[in-house]
Amino acid sequence: MSDLDVLVRQMATDIYDHTLRLEDVRLRLFLKWLTAHTGRIQVRPVAGEEFKSALLTWLSCLTVQGALWEYHLILDEIAWWRDLDSYRLKMILKSEAGQ
């Protein structure tokens, strides 16, 4: 296994571990964002190994710089959903329900 493979595997695992810390609603909304962002990753929130595998496949298709950029972007997005105050979360859910 090359150093790049190890790096990509670690990034996918790290992203997955961070998603486990999200509440169900925040996780669902994050995964919805991730699906729209990547155009590829479409998983159910409870499908852990499927999610890690999809991340690994997607990150492996990117350049090293692209994978690192996406890794940081995704971790920032996870942090955004985690830190989103309950009022704004309710507003997002309300607007989502109205669609």
Tens of pLDDT, residue by residue over 9-38, are 999 999 999 999 999 999 999 988 998 898
Amino acid at 48: G
Task: Tell me what pLDDT residue 44 has.
Answer: 61
Task: Tell me what pLDDT residue 72 has.
Answer: 98
Task: Tell me what pLDDT residue 47 has.
Answer: 63
| Residues in CB range of 64: below 8 A, 6 or more apart | 4, 7
Give the number of domains in the chain: 1
Rama region for 27: left / alpha / beta (φ>0; ψ in -120 to 50; rest):
alpha
- pTM for this one? 0.87
Percentage of the chain with pLDDT > 90? 68
Provide the domain limits for residue 26.
3-97
